[in-house]
Structures are given as structure tokens and as C-alpha cells.
Amino acid sequence: MHQKLKWNAIGLVRKSKILHTTISEEKANLPSSHSKLHRKIQGFLEELTNLLQTMEKIQLELIPKLESVFRLKFETPELVMLALARPSIRNIYEDLETHFKPQLNNPLKPEEYKELAASGDAANVLALIGDSVLDLGIVQLLWDSSISTVDKLTKQRANTVANENLAKFCDKWDLFNYRLKRQKIPTEDSAKEETVIHEKGTLVEVIYGVIYLEFGFDELIRTLPFIQ
């Protein structure tokens, strides 16, 4: 019997709020003469504030939009957030762990920092799942028992999962603007068009990865016409 894949929640929002509160308190109690440390802490606050604001927007704006599009209710909103987390946020949580490690007011355990840092890589796994189940789902959706239609099936599948096609739906659902990432990534503004299209296609794949994890293969197949 097929066993449903599961992913344990890590408390992404709650633990990020704890870090924000703790670093805010540290800043409030820091003598003004410690200008270098002030700048460092202010950088942490700005990054955490940006992440928390984006998480709130995902919760209040994007998730309801996707639930309306797909006609389903996400059971674990954190999975949608992990789907939109980019690898660059690993640095934020690793830098915070380094900052708090020698301090008595360290609010998290080492394994909790590791989970938060790994959230930036979670989308890669969800993309792998999404890519795999999209391929299989589209074949099943378009299947024709006549062997003469094999070439047509192959072309339809390729057209559906092509990054150019998926990128259109990324734009339609505005996924790109809800990415969880560092505020400033030096290479982002100069990224080539094909790189951006690939990332947009991947964002749609990760959403389908979430749908598969949350609702299973049958529901995934039901939602495939939304990207055709």
C-alpha cells in the first residue's frame, strides 16, 4: 500500500518571531557607543522583519488565492512558505546562530537553527517531488490507449511542464513576489531571462509538490488542467 509522504512542521513563523523579539531586546539594551554591533543587529532586524512580513503576506494573501484557484484548503500553511523559501535565507539563520551561540540569552537550540537554515533548501526537495509527480500526472491525465498517439502525448507533456509554460502561471498567481529570501542578492538584478523563467517554473513545481504532499495524487491530477 502506498504510504503518504509527510513533512514535520518546524515552526518557521514562531521561531522567526522569537529571534526577532530577542534581537530587538538586545538592540534596546545595547549602549549607543557600540556602533558596529548596532549596525550588525540592525541588519538582523531588517532581514527578519522582511521575512516575517513576507510570511504574513503568504498567509493572508497568497494562500487564500491559491486555495481559490485550486479549490482546496491547505492543511499545513508552513509547507507553502517552505515552498517559497530560497536558499539565500540559510545565511540569515546561520549568522543568527553564530551571533547568539556565546550568549546566555540564546533563544533557540542548535537543532532549531539547523532546521530554520535548512528551510532555504526545502524548496529544492519540493521541486523534485513536484517535477516527478507532474510528469506522471500529466501522462495519466492525457493517456490514450492507442499506441499511435504516443508522439502526441510526449509533445503535450513536454509543452505543459516546460518552464516557459509554468512561468506564465507563476506570473498569474504572483508567486515570484512572495519568495522568502534575503533582501539584497547581488546577482538577482543581473540574472538572465532564462534563469528567471527557470526559477518561475520551479516555483510552480514546488506548489504542486505541496499539493501532492498535502492531498495526494488524485487531487494533484484534478488540479493539472489549471496549468494547461
Question: 49: domain CATH number?
Answer: 1.10.1520.10
Q: Could you read off the pLDDT of 181-223 as tens digits, one per residue?
A: 998 765 556 678 999 999 999 999 999 999 999 999 999 999 9
**pTM of the complete model:** 0.89
Which candidate, 220, 217, 203, 199, places its Cα nearest to that of 82? 203
How high is the pLDDT of residue 184? 77
Is 1 contained in some domain?
no
How many separate domains does the chain show? 1
Confidence band for 142, pLDDT divided at 50, 70 and 90: confident
Exposed, middle or buried by CB within 10 Å (0-12, 13-18, 19+), for 142? middle
Number of alpha carbons in the 13 Å side-chain half-sphere of residue 45: 14
Q: Could you read off the pLDDT of 80-129 as tens digits, one per residue?
A: 999 999 999 999 999 999 999 999 889 999 999 999 999 988 889 999 99
How high is the pLDDT of residue 5? 73
Query: Could you list the residue range(s) of the whole structural domain that residue 40 is in?
Result: 12-227
